[in-house]
Amino acid sequence: MHKGRLEAFSDGVLAIIITIMVLELKAPHSAELSALKPLLPVLLSYILSFVYLGIYWNNHHHMFQATDHIGGAVLWANLHLLFWLSLFPFVTDWMGENHFATWPTALYGGVLFMAAMAYWNLQRVIIAQQGCDSILAKAVGKDLKGKLSPVLYAAAIAGAFVHGLIAQALYVLVALMWLVPDRRIERLLAAKKETHPNRADSAGP
């Protein structure tokens, strides 16, 4: 089975998810600058989700570049990931409209946690099909970021009940952890470029 249509379909779904979130940013009826003030938390939660979906698209892109052929199990593991990502607009909106209140903040973390699990599962299914010597298996390696993220999400969910800012800080921290490029991996990649030209550098958030 070719991976082309799976990539195209995933790109389509991710492009739509990332874009329909902005529909929640409804234009106020007043033309005053002060009318934008209540939209600030909605904008902030939009930016956070935009960055997370960007990270997922990025990592999805890398993972499938290191993947040659795909079986039926991969199709369903991928749809499972897309399902959790499709809940982003809902939780983003609930969190933004309620100014980062406790329960919406915790549920946001819950969806982040489930999406990370779904990504990890997708990675596991692909590696199972390709063997432990595959490019992807080697590239993922110990997958420290992939293991640390769900722990931090769980901590954020618990923290949300102490103070919302604890959870938000952890969400931003995990996003930064994935945004900041890992120089060590890049150096390894450059060194091994001849032997593994498609080496993926990381697992999902």
Mark 111-142 as b/e (b = at least 16 C-beta within 10 Å).
Answer: bbbbbbbbbbebbebbbebbeeebbbbebbee
**Residue 16 CB coordination number (10 Å):** 12
Minimum separation from the CB atom of position 31 to its own copies (A): 4
Q: Which of residues 10-29 bind its own copies (CB under 8 A)?
A: 11-20, 22-25, 27-29
- Residue 40, phi-psi category: left (phi > 0), alpha (psi -120 to 50), beta (remainder): alpha
- Which window, 92-100, 114-122, 126-134, 168-176, contacts its own copies (CB under 8 A)? 92-100
Minimum separation from the CB atom of position 197 to its own copies (A): 10
Considering only CA atoms, which of 19, 85, 51 is closest in space to residue 174? 51
- Which window, 99-107, 122-130, 154-162, 166-174, contacts its own copies (CB under 8 A)? 99-107
- Crossing angle of helices 102-130 and 88-97, rounded to 10°: 160
Minimum separation from the CB atom of position 57 to its own copies (A): 6
Residue 181 lies near its own copies (rule: CB under 8 A): yes
Residues 103 and 20: their CA atoms lie apart, in Å, by 23
Residues 16 and 57: their CA atoms lie apart, in Å, by 12
Residue 130 lies near its own copies (rule: CB under 8 A): no
Minimum separation from the CB atom of position 13 to its own copies (A): 5
- Which window, 73-81, 116-124, 126-134, 140-148, contacts its own copies (CB under 8 A)? 73-81
Binding site for its own copies (CB under 8 A): 1-2, 5-9, 11-20, 22-25, 27-33, 36, 47, 50, 54, 57-58, 61, 65, 72, 75-76, 79, 82-83, 86-87, 89-90, 93-94, 97-98, 101-104, 107, 179, 181
